């Protein structure tokens, strides 16, 4: 797999993790209220998505 494909996969996984973390109370997982696990899940999801964007937009290494 090249960097761009890995980047797109990381973007998707990061966004999914952040959305699930933010919507945990609505979908009924975890304890009520916005807790530390939701903050951590959201932060990790956003960081993974940012790394994915960086990989997807970075230039490919060109072999000579």
Q: Where are the domains of the chain?
A: 3-57
Distance CA 40, CA 20 (A): 12
- Kindly report the pTM of this predicted structure: 0.83
Measure the CA angle with vertex 13, ends 39 and 9; round to 5°: 150
pLDDT value of position 57:
92
pLDDT value of position 63:
58
Mean pLDDT, consecutive 10-residue stretches, the chain (64 aa), reads: 92 97 88 87 97 90 56
pLDDT value of position 1:
82
Per the CB < 8 A criterion, the answer to whether 14 and 47 are in contact is yes
Distance CA 5, CA 24 (A): 28
- Return phi, psi of residue 55, to 5°: -65, -40
Tokens, residue 8: 């797109």
pLDDT value of position 52:
96
pLDDT value of position 17:
96
Tokens, residue 28: 């009924």
């Amino acid at each position: 797999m090249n960097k761009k494909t890995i980047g797109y996969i990381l973007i998707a996984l990061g966004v999914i993790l952040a959305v699930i973390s933010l919507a945990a109370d609505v979908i009924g997982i975890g304890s009520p209220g916005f807790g530390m696990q939701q903050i951590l899940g959201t932060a990790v999801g956003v960081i993974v998505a940012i790394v994915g964007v960086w990989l997807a937009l970075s230039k490919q290494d060109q072999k000579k």
